[in-house]
Amino acid sequence: MGGMQHTWGKRASRFGGALLLALAGMLTSADGKAADETAFERELAEQIQKLDPEAATLFAEANAARERGDLAAAAELYEKVRARVPKFSAATRRLCTVKLHQGARDEAVALCRKALATEDVAENKASLAQALLMRPQGTTPNMSEAREAFELASSAAARKPDDKFAQLLVCESALQNSRFDQLRNCSRALERIAPEFAPTYLYASMVDASEGKLGGAIEKLDRAKSLGLDDQTYTSLKGQYEEAMPFYERYGTTLLYGFLGWLAGLAALLGLGGLLSTLTLRAASAVPKSADENATGADKWLRRVYGVVLWACCAYYYISLPIVMSLVLVAGGGIIYGFVAIGRIPVKLVAIVAIFTLVSLWAMLKSIFFRRQESEPGDKLDLAEHPKLRAVLEEVAGRIGTRPVDNVYMTPTTDVGVFERGGLLRQLAGRTERCLVLGAGVLDGFSISAFKAVLAHEYGHFHNEDTAGGGFALAVRRSVFTMALSLAQGGAAAWYNPAWLFVSGFHKIFLRISQGASRLQEVLADRWAAFAYGAEAFTEGLTHVIDRSIRFDVHTQAALSEVIQEKRALANLYRYRVRGKTPEEAEIEKAIDEAIHAEPSPYDSHPKPADRFAWVNALPKRAIEGSPDDTLEVWALFGDRAKIEKQMTQKIREAVAMNHGVIIPAGKPKAKKDAAEEETDEAEEQAPEAAGAA
């Protein structure tokens, strides 16, 4: 505090008399305003009237001239009064004030000294103090005069404690003498006797500044400005206050409100996600009359709102990253600074904090500037080798009214989904690469009619442009994943890390919004499937996908466990007959039923299957043109089933080796097999029960 007071002592030397000159327009002199109706003026008028009636007339004329700003006339008239009544000190005192305003400071000081010598009253002490304090701006203060002014002003205030001008002079002289204790006292006195007086808040602001309360100092200075403080004094002092403020205090309030606004924005996005989810369920239960209404009306409006909110959420993510990086820096730097401030630096702990901070910052930077190289989603099929499959793909696309997929990728599991690849220009030109991902594990027992209905659902996403224009959301999803992974790998995934709190919290918000949009997209795509191939076919297809997903997982776990434990070969997972114990059929049926009726969380991308079945079956029925091959299994559309199954099995063996370090052989070379071994392998590969038996 001493350093701050020293600073303001130097400030007083720069302002000094110039500040009093600025305040003089608010308060003319120790006599108050020259108004005949005041009690003080009446007292003076009565006093000089008794001494010299003619001088009383001259005194009144001098006061009037001073009141209207005619300083030359006022000075001449006060001189005449002094000549007639030398012992009437009020005339000398007022002449002193006039000379001050005319710039004749030395003459004014001499006149005020004569007035005080003539009559030792509070008004004369205050006027002399004022004359001593007021000097041209930029001149070096005379400390002996400043000390004398302080004594005179203090004496005048002691005699008249409720005189605001006397208290003002005490404040100014205390400021010039760096007497901040007295500045505090006179400031409080002004607050008591003149609460609507600009100098009251001016000096109160200086008291706060001297105590390091610069935020409060600026508030009081603003109050003084509103009560009439001149612009020059206000601007100069406020600039000095702001310059002296620490960064956190100068911008602390703004940063706090900004941070709260940022949190409010996240909360608003979360609330919008919840509201849109509710509206999605309502839209899903509304039954359209025809396929033309599939994505129009309220549904179309809702999709657009979802698009805007999702875009805003993505933009908010990138806006938030600098804020989170600042929080990490402040948190880490603040901890290290705290150790330095207390004079005790635990080196190991400081190193941990520093590494923790750097890891967090690197994770955020990496999430922005580094993009993981995309891998192929599966093995790309040559559709020329599977003409029947290509024909079905084109048939379904034609019925939905959209372009068919360009490529089909096979995976070992039970995937069924579509996506588009290509930048913004390719999207605008309609030249994106449309891809279908199809899992080999879902194809057993999958009728072509049900497959077409599921495929129509996927093409419905293309028709509704669900897969186009999602580059921004995809980039955010990748960035969030990259940041979370980098934080976890760097050991910085902790609840007290602002970066981890943000990425985990934002991920939930992003999922709530994006998955809510996805639920609406699924409902609309379901309608396309139902209108194109019938609700029964779609219900059968979706049920099959759920059924195969559970059965294939059970079969795969049992088969892999068995071949690893018994160190057997695995040529074809999909034809492998599990010899050991497997879950009971009742357990599997129960798991399937639970999956169909499981209530989705706000973060799920799909509605409850049972609801989807109910919604499509409530749609208007229409005649569906079928094909003689619709009852066949989907595998009939492929050229070489065994080849595909063995390729997918190889993928699974590679995944087991990579993730668990276990090598599963594909089988012995046929040249070395005896007849019994060949018969066993052939039986395993041709067994019709295969995975279904699991």
List pLDDT tens digits, range 255-271: 778 878 888 887 887 78
Helix (H) or strand (E) holding 409, with range, is strand 407-411
CA distance 515 to 601: 10
CB-CB contact of 439 with 414 (8 Å): yes
- The per-residue pLDDT for 561 is 92
Please provide the average confidence, as pLDDT, over all residues in the chain: 81
Q: How many helices (H) and strands (E) does the chain have?
A: 27, 4
Listed in sequence order, the residues at least 6 apart from 51 whose beta carbon sits closer than 8 Å to its beta carbon are 85, 87, 88
Buried b (16+ CB within 10 A) or exposed e, 566-601: eeeebbbbbbbbbeeebbeeeebeebbeebbeeeee
| Total-model pTM | 0.59
CB 133 within 8 A of CB 172: yes
Kindly give, in sequence order, each residue whose CB lies less than 8 Å from that of residue 244, ignoring residues fewer than 6 positions away: 4, 7, 209, 214
Q: What pLDDT does residue 256 have?
A: 77
pLDDT band at residue 28, thresholds of 50, 70 and 90?
A: very low
Q: How confident is the model at residue 471 (pLDDT cuts 50, 70, 90)?
A: low
**Distance between CA atoms of residues 574 and 570, nearest Å:** 10
Query: Please, which pLDDT band fits residue 21 given cuts at 50, 70 and 90?
Result: very low
Q: What is the pLDDT, as a whole number, of residue 248?
A: 62
Tell me the C-alpha distance between 428 and 495, whole Å: 43
Q: Quick one: average pLDDT of 660-678?
A: 64
Q: What is the pLDDT of residues 137-154, one digit of tens each?
A: 666 768 898 899 999 999
Q: What is the per-residue pLDDT for 671?
A: 47
Q: How far is CA 64 from the centre of its chain?
A: 64
Q: Is the pLDDT of residue 374 over 70?
A: no
Burial class (CB in 10 A: 0-12, 13-18, 19+), 656: middle
Q: Cα separations (Å) of 88 from 81, 116, 224, 626?
A: 8, 11, 37, 123
CA 270 to chain centre: 13
What count of residues does the chain have? 694
- The least confident of 51-60, 87-96, 207-216, 468-477 is 468-477
Q: How far apart are CA 203 and CA 280, in angstroms?
A: 62
pLDDT at residue 680 greater than cutoff 60: no
The Cα–Cα gap between 329 and 72 comes to 66
Dist CA 208 CA 219 (whole Å): 10
Whether residue 628 has pLDDT greater than 70? yes
Whether the predicted pLDDT of 36 surpasses 80: no
Structural domains in the chain, CATH included, are 2-207+222-240 (1.25.40.10), 385-458+518-693 (no CATH)
Is 171 in contact with 197 (CB distance < 8 Å)?
no
- Phi, psi (deg, nearest 5) at residue 566: -95, 0
What does the pLDDT look like over 405-432, one tens digit per residue? 999 999 999 999 888 876 545 555 556 7
